[in-house]
Amino acid sequence: MKKTLNLAFQISAVFIGTIVGAGLASGEEITLFFTRYGYKSFIGIFICMGIYILMGFNVIHISLKYNLSSYNQYVRLVSPGFLGQVIDIITCFFWISSASIILAGSGALLNQYFHISTWVGTIIMCSVSLFVLLRNTEGLIEINSIIVPCMILIVATIFILFLSLSKEIISVSYVKNIPASNNNWFISCLLYGGFNILSCSGVLVPLSKEVKNKKSLKAGILMGAIVLTLLSVMINFMLLLNVPNIYKYDIPLLYVANRFGIVIQVMLLAIMWFEMFSTQVSDIYSLSRTLESVTKISYKKCAVILMMVTIPVSRLGFANLIRYVYPAFGVISLIFIVQCIIFRFKERVYK
């Protein structure tokens, strides 16, 4: 029992770490996909939780039943033909873009706050990521088991401090009256949940093959989805109570944390860097597993090659990745989610 729970915790940490990234930890993703829709954003966050659980269980079931080892095999099974090839290519492009922007962002973050060359931040991120990646799935689990609890602790600390200083204005009526700058909250939450679960599939498929414990895998996804929802609710609540000021900042949560002193700010910046690192590892891991399956080149060689590719690409800059690429990838993700549901339905009917 203890071993099963420990394994479930590790899987939930990988699941959370793959989805969170610096975009969520900074509040940027939450602002874009939820906060600007007012109080209805909370409904959207809980819909996302349903998507994570439903689709996470679906990925695990299909991966274990058909003994899949990579995301590429999963896509081709669920979506054979031209559309599956398109989804596969776009997802790989998304991962390489995401990994590249993280390299650029890690350098920019250290440059902005510690005034060191952007190349230093990029090289540090590459070196540490490769060290973890070369430890294979074990390295992925180990690093997320450390980073995710730290991130939860820091966000919860900021939330508690925020509540203690905002007692006078917190009420249901106050939150309901916060103006929304957009009304398409339902579509936004579907896009967000869709691209998160599809990008996470690149980790879940090979993880399922290695763990082969359906009970632990499902428990891990359930735990991860609940924690992700709680984190999103806390961040969204703090951001909502700071509308419209947060729209002026690239790191909205840092604006909220400014009132709590330099220590909290540095802790938040540190966890953002580590979440960048966690997402970087997950993206390259997913790509490496896919490339290994297609080319038969060893996983470790694929990881090194892909990391080397992301360095020059990161210098081109992807400043609008979250604003433009994420929603586009979200649309593709929703199409694929529908295909996954149809595949599972047919499987039940015709088995």
DSSP calls for 258-320: GGG-HHHHHHHHHHHHHHHHHHHHHHHHHHHHHHHHHH---HHHHHHHHHHHHHHHHTT--TT
Q: Whole-model pTM?
A: 0.87
Lowest mean pLDDT among 96-105, 148-157, 205-214: 96-105
User: pLDDT tens across 173-201, in order?
Assistant: 777 888 777 788 998 898 888 888 887 88
pLDDT value of position 334: 84
Report the domain count for the chain: 1
The rounded radius of gyration (Å) of the Cα atoms in the chain is 20
Residue 321 has pLDDT above 60, yes or no: no
User: pLDDT tens across 71-95, in order?
Assistant: 888 888 888 878 878 888 878 877 7
Q: Give residue 309's domain range.
A: 2-350
Q: How far, rounded to the nearest angstrom, does the alpha carbon of residue 351 sit from its chain's CA centroid?
A: 34
- The Cα 195–Cα 181 span in angstroms is 23
Name, in order, each residue with C-beta under 8 angstroms of 136's C-beta and a sequence gap of 6 or more. 299, 300
Residue 249: which CATH number? 1.10.4160.10
**308 pLDDT band (50/70/90 cuts)?**
confident
DSSP state of 60: H
pLDDT value of position 212: 82
Helix or strand (DSSP H, E) at 81: none
pLDDT value of position 234: 93
C-alpha distances in Å from residue 350, one per residue of 80, 346, 347: 18, 6, 5
- The Cα 228–Cα 223 span in angstroms is 9
DSSP calls for 184-196: -HHHHHHHHHHHH
Q: Is the dihedral of CA 163, 276, 317, 33 positive or negative?
A: negative
Residue 98 has pLDDT above 90, yes or no: no
Residue 318 has pLDDT above 50, yes or no: no
Lowest mean pLDDT among 51-60, 158-167, 290-299, 325-334: 325-334
Biggest CA–CA distance in the chain, Å, is 62
User: pLDDT tens across 258-273, in order?
Assistant: 888 888 888 888 888 8
DSSP calls for 26-50: TTHHHHHHTGGGGGGHHHHHHHHHH
Side-chain half-sphere of 216: how many Cα atoms within 13 Å?
Answer: 20
DSSP calls for 82-137: HHHHHHHHHHHHHHHHHHHHHHHHHHHHHHHHH---HHHHHHHHHHHHHHHHTTHH
DSSP state of 246: G
